[in-house]
Structure 1
Amino acid sequence: MLVTGGAGFIGSALTHRLVQAGYDVAVMDILHPQVHGERPAINLPSSGRLFTGDVTHAPDWDAVLRLFRPSQIVHLAAETGTAQSLSAATRHGAVNVVGTTQLLDALSRSAHVPDQIVLASSRAVYGEGAWQCGTQTFYPRPRSHAQLLAGIWDPEGPTAEPAVPLPSCAGRTEPRPTSIYAATKLAQEHMLAAWTAAHDTKLSVLRLQNVYGPGQSLSNSYTGIVALFARLACRLRPLEVYEDGKIVRDFVYIDDVVEALFAAIARPAAQPRCLDIGSGCSTTIHELACTIA
């Protein structure tokens, strides 16, 4: 089993779970300072093998695949800053898109075809998501600067009736990325779907909701709003809530995400599958801030 990004928040927790279940696990991770700090504290089981390497660098992939021939690959390595991606588009495209194509090219060079690839994708691929206005379902564009200045927080629907957000579902909600990050995650999905179909390899895509829990970095400003609010609360600083605080998110605990990934690994499907991984419960940002404060 090869886990890319396996020293990160989700990756390290998954690696511990896999080793406990008896899997032979190798981890490939660049140990980026934004995620791990200048002096990384590696939380991996003693039997897990760590390859420090860059997924965008072909020689690093070749070195890993010379030493390790994984039956399955869990692809977690990614730049994940939704807002940051707008000002660091090249970095997000390089790691998320080119890092994935480098993986596929390295597999071709090594003449190795894994039984399954599991991709950790993101709820971000849905963008603003689907909304309902009366009997009509529509996909809104991001709100304009003028709308935000006017305090119009919800998108305007095709009729005068109030618009209501619909739960996202891989089986019925169209992906409509509204950030560079989201576009790169959807590109990963498409590229892996094409490659695995051509090589008769199983594919599981898990679109993760907002993951939180022990092991999440409190120093990385782009790790998520739960960690951001927790960091501010620990410093006795106010939690600033934008707009009306009614933005809704699904916050899913790290252990549940690990179990979902583990289930995808342990029980590959005959056909490619795309699954949403969340708690199934909606929480507004205002409710989150009140809970943490």
Structure 2
Amino acid sequence: MTRTVLITGGAGFIGSRLAADLAGAGDDVVLLDSLHPQVHASGWPALPAGITAIPFDVTVPTMWDAVLRSVHPDVVVHLAAETGTGQSLTEASRHTRVNVVGTSELLDGLHRAGVVPERFVLASSRAVYGEGDWATASGERFAADARDVHQLERAQWDPASPDGSVATPLAHAAATTHPRPSNVYAATKLAQEHVLHAWASAHGAPLSVLRLQNVYGPGQSLTNPYTGIVSLFGRLARDHRSIPVYEDGSITRDFVFVDDVVRALAAATRSDRAGTTTVDIGSGAPMTLLDLAGVIAEQAGAPAPQVTGQYRLGDVRAAFADVTAAGALLGYEPRFDPSRGVALLLDWMATQDAPTLRAA
């Protein structure tokens, strides 16, 4: 049976791939995107025939009314969001307006149109966890406090443990790790989850929340200085520049290839689970930024990375996913390790002609 799938943020490298996947499976796909020049300097990406793409601002009620007069989605995949972690601390109203108000305008528009989708899928973020949970040397689990500017100025990189011992970060798992956002972007993504959960629950519409780790791959913006650390490192390495690595090089992340994320989102659109389901999507293999930079530099033939001791406010020390629940509920299994994913990204970057990128 043909479904109508509405994807907000559909011009992004995740949304456009998901659109092609769903259209190839027989769905009618409608994409909405504001085409913000910070992310989409070249406008819409190439899309397969049959996909409807509409320039769109999720914060404008009349635009929702116009679209929902003719489009009655069976599934809504909500990807639209302002995503800059550091930028959200200086442009809080912009992130709140798009991520929170934009989500509520979507729901109000559905109400005015008398439409309750059969399922919502939200691309949330690992950022909602903040510093997440850590373990003391004796194995005691604790929720780490956000690192403030004074701690970072003293180069005290790891969160302090309650007993003063050296602490170890634990994997993010929605069932056990309590969200504690440490920047404005993260707070707005958690608000998206709450707003959608409240509306969907009241209307009996299932909701799948996928908390994505650091997504990378071909098609990611090469001009946005606020997101995409893998593409940024790739740009520097392809220019044969030494990659600067912040703090002491041991910031830990979970870099998940875009095709793995698209398969997870597509599976979520076809889930038959009732209520709200929240899972974590990552590669299952945490990696330090220094190790990532080393892989990229080696593949690009660039100089060795340099640890700078710099830091960025709002960043967390460690973030990586426990993908067990995603495997059980969505059949998710990551297929791309960082070495393979980086090679594919660098090959794609070699075909692009992006302007010089300035550091944020």
TM-score range, shorter-chain basis?
A: over 0.9
- In 2, Cα distance between equivalents of 1:140 and 1:193: 26
1:41 Cα deviation from its structure 2 partner: 4.4
1:126 counterpart = 2:123: no
Residue 214 of structure 1 is aligned with which of 215, 218, 237?
218
The change in CA–CA distance for 1:103 and 1:17 in structure 2 (over 3 A counts) is same
CA contact (8 A) 1:218 1:227 kept: yes
Provide the residue aligned with 1:6 in structure 2: 10
**1:252 is paired with a residue of what secondary structure?**
strand
Query: Residues of 2 paired with 1:81 and 1:268: CA distance?
Result: 33
Separation (CA, whole Å) in 2 of partners of 1:267 and 1:159: 44
* 1:83-103 deviation per Cα after TM superposition (whole angstroms, max 9, x unaligned): 110001000000000000000
The answer to whether the Cα contact below 8 Å between 1:204 and 1:268 also exists between their aligned partners in 2 is no
Identity of aligned residues (%): 56
Separation in 2, partners of 1:48, 1:199:
28
1:40 aligns with one of 38, 43, 46: 43
Matches within 5 A, 1:243-258: 243-258=247-262
- The one-letter code sitting in structure 2 at the alignment partner of 1:283 is M
Count of residues paired in the alignment: 292
Shift of 1:33: 0.4
Q: Give the deviation of 1:236 after TM superposition.
A: 2.0
Does the Cα contact within 8 Å between 2:220 and 2:228 map onto a contact in 1? no
Moved over 6 A (4+): none
Preserved contact between residue 58 and residue 102 of structure 1 (Cα < 8 Å) = yes
CA distance in 2 between counterparts of 1:143 and 1:278 reads: 24
Counterpart position of 1:184: 188
Q: 2:20 aligns with which of 16, 22, 32?
A: 16
Residues 95-146 of structure 1 show CA distances to partners (whole Å, capped at 9, x for unaligned) of 0000000000000101111101100000000001101112322222222333
- Quick one: distance in 2 between partners of 1:74 and 1:60? 17
Which of the numbers 246, 268, 279 marks the counterpart of 1:275? 279
**Paired amino acid for 1:72:** V
Q: Pick from 155, 166, 175 the counterpart of residue 179 of structure 2.
A: 175
Instruction: Determine whether 1:103 maps to 2:106.
Output: yes
- RMSD across aligned positions (CA): 1.0
Q: Is the 8 A contact 1:131 1:163 kept in 2?
A: yes
Decide whether the 8 Å contact of 2:130 with 2:186 is kept in 1.
Answer: yes
- Asked if 1:115 is matched to 2:121, the reply is no
Query: Which has the larger displacement, 145-154 or 226-235?
Result: 145-154
Which secondary structure state, in structure 1, belongs to the residue aligned with residue 39 of structure 2? helix
Q: How far apart, CA to CA, are the structure 1 residues paired with 2:74 and 2:164? A: 54
Aligned to 1:152: 156
1-structure distance, mates of 2:164, 2:187: 31
Partner of 1:58: 61
User: What is the CA–CA distance in structure 2 between the aligned matches of 1:70 and 1:174, rounded to whole Å?
Assistant: 32
Match of 2:73, SS state, is coil
Kindly state the Cα deviation for residue 242 of structure 1 after the two structures are TM-superposed. Answer: 1.0
Partner of 1:286: 290
The more displaced of 132-141 and 191-200 is 132-141
- Structure 2 match to 1:83: 86
Shift in alpha-carbon separation, 1:30–1:144, aligned structure 2, 3 A = closer
* 1:197-248 residue CA offsets vs partner (Å, 9 max, x unmatched): 1101010000001001111111111222101111111222221111111111
Using the size of structure 2 for normalisation, the TM-score is: 0.79
Per-residue CA shift, 1:175-217, capped at 9, x if unaligned?
Answer: 0000100000000000111000110101000000100111111
Q: CA deviation at 1:160?
A: 2.5
Q: Which is further off, 203-212 or 259-268?
A: 259-268
Amino acid aligned to 2:139: T
TM-score using structure 1 length: 0.97
- Structure 2 counterpart of 1:253, one-letter code: F
Rounded to whole Å, the distance in 2 between the matches of 1:41 and 1:7 is: 6
How much does 1:9 deviate? 1.2
Contact kept? 1:132, 1:166, Cα under 8 Å: yes
Distance 1:4 1:146 in 2: 39
